[in-house]
């Protein structure tokens, strides 16, 4: 089988994206998904995304982790899929689409995509970290000297040690200014550090506001792959109108034999 694919990246978080509006992609073939995401034997990506038809919105997003399993929401992946849908002419500069965690609204202006994330009703604050769900589960922990921190080792330790087989993404954070944070993320499903994580930086922004590290409701996050901006409103203990904004860029397209 020959398969046409597109490669997109959002601040270094990269994805194989496939137009599956005809429903031909074998979604139950986890080995195929893992093969396509393999950086030595396939295309190489942090995840694979299918664009599908949806009866009530512009399109549906189906996301797979690099290990081949269907995953929870991916913020950077959602932004890249919006850019892909715009490239195909499926949408204009504004869209509403369906994903595993519900409906998302987004706008696109050139390479910049602004994606509305789910509301966050609860931030669990522990002595050394916070835990919250921004469409995917996230552990947020402040550390010192983030540049030299062993993210793969320490991330795996927490991912399995605290959260077991279901797992959680692990975000290590260092504050730069009143409203700016540096973040490195260990992602479950990839089981390694990625250059950026959209739901992760969203979780960091909200957790840092909830813990009083910042009073700003527009938070800038620097990841190894680039910069993202998160904005939100707070109503009592809930966070609403949460938006993730940053670049989403097509890298290349091709055909692979599977």
- Residue numbering of the annotated binding site for substrate: 13, 65, 75-76, 169, 187-188, 198-199
CB 155 within 8 A of CB 138: no
Kindly give the residue spans of alpha helices, DSSP state H, lying in the chain. Answer: 30-37, 75-88, 151-161, 198-210
Instruction: Identify whether 197 is a catalytic site residue.
Output: yes
Known binding residues are 13, 65, 75-76, 169, 187-188, 198-199
Query: What is the SS3 assignment for 158?
Result: helix
Kindly give the residue spans of alpha helices, DSSP state H, lying in 115-189. Answer: 151-161
Distance CA 118, CA 73 (A): 10
Distance CA 91, CA 112 (A): 15
Question: Phi and psi dihedrals of 121, rounded to 5?
Answer: -90, -20
Catalytic residue ranges: 74, 197
């Amino acid at each position: 089988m020959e398969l046409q694919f597109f490669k997109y990246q959002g601040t270094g978080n990269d994805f194989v994206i496939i137009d599956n509006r005809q429903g031909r992609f074998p979604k139950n073939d986890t080995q195929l998904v893992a093969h396509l995401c393999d950086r030595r034997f396939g295309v190489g990506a942090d995840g694979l995304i299918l664009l599908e038809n949806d009866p009530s919105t512009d399109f549906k997003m189906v996301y797979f982790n690099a290990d081949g399993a269907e995953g929870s929401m991916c913020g950077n992946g959602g932004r890249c899929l919006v850019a892909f849908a715009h490239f195909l002419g499926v949408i204009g500069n504004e869209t509403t689409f369906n994903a595993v965690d519900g409906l998302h609204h987004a706008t696109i202006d050139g390479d910049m995509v602004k994606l509305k994330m789910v509301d966050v009703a609860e931030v669990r604050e522990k002595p050394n970290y916070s835990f919250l769900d921004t469409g995917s589960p996230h552990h947020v922990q402040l550390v010192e000297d983030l540049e030299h921190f062993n993210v793969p080792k320490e991330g795996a330790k927490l991912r399995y040690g605290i959260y077991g087989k279901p797992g959680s993404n692990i975000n290590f954070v260092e504050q730069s200014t009143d409203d700016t944070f540096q973040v490195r993320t260990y992602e479950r499903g990839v089981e390694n550090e990625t250059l950026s994580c959209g739901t992760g930086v969203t979780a960091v922004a909200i957790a840092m506001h909830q813990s009083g590290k910042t009073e700003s409701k527009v938070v800038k996050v620097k990841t190894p792959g680039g910069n993202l901006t998160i904005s939100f409103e707070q109503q009592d203990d809930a966070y609403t109108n949460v938006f993730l904004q940053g670049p989403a860029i097509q890298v290349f397209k091709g055909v692979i034999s599977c």
